[in-house]
Structure 1
């Protein structure tokens, strides 16, 4: 019985256990435009691909539930030219149950850990859509969500600093 008390004490020192469950995931919006096919271009073309990522998280009415979305804008152009090959926009959403995360750590948790869980599924969808659209499958590189989050914080702080110096 003394061992059980020691285990409870160790558990209390660690703090609350973080729990995260994916309750659902879905495509909210998807658009793919094969510009090259509309222009009738053909032949061997070297693509230059630009991917923009936008993250968003919001509380849902249910307790401890959050909606996290990843928005990708993919633009593929002919390397060295301005001719567009294809455009793709997708918003992929996950519904998460998150418990045990301290309030001050919740924002980074939602915008780093939750997108990490969604990304493999989003990568597969992008690959399938580009292949089905007549191009080689686009296999996205892994996104560093920590660097993305830190970059957004730095951008916001710089914007706030510029606003304060203007006033």
Structure 2
């Protein structure tokens, strides 16, 4: 069927190759605030997760560094008292080939974080459990929506030129 395409279009489609070269925790902190002033009775947590992404080209050919930064704040629903605060910077180094330049930015901020997310989820679960709380199993993050929201935020922050 690929032979039916005009001008050999099947051969022109680039083959995308992505390898995770390494991944690691760049920085992490966990504060068990509840331990300093224990709560009485059952406490219902309200967990807020903020995600920030960044990517940059490395000196080596076709290598990119992708940073996923999470800030997780858990407060008691009834009192608003902080229970714990966790900050995590997780980095992946990727070798990427075959992605057109105009598609590289969304690829780095959508596909690469998708590859890192299961590892980040496990770290958050382990650290919250080891920190004295039930393990926090993060909901799946929609990186496409996160990317679109960031584009909209940047567009809104751009000063508009006065109409002449």
Q: How does 1:139-158 map to 2 (within 5 A)?
A: 139-158=137-156
| TM-score (norm: length of structure 1) | 0.89
Query: 1:56: how far off?
Result: 0.4
Shift of 1:45: 0.6
Q: CA deviation at 1:10?
A: 5.7
Distance in 1, Cα, partners of 2:162 & 2:64: 36
Partner of 2:112: 114
Instruction: Measure the CA separation in 2 of the matches of 1:43 and 1:69.
Output: 39
The superposition leaves residues 109-135 of structure 1 with CA deviations (integer Å, 9 ceiling, x where unpaired) of 000000000000000000000000000
Query: Which blocks of at least 5 consecutive residues in structure 2 are unaligned?
Result: none
Query: Which runs of 4 or more aligned residues in structure 1 lie more than 3 Å from their structure 2 counterparts after TM superposition?
Result: none
- Determine the C-alpha separation between the residues in 1 that align with 2:48 and 2:162: 33
Aligned-pair distance for 1:11? 4.2
Q: Which has the higher helix share?
A: 1
Aligned to 2:24: 26
- TM-score, with length taken from structure 2: 0.91
How far the C-alpha of 1:40 sits from its partner, in A, is 2.7
Counterpart Cα distance in 2 of 1:155 and 1:124: 30
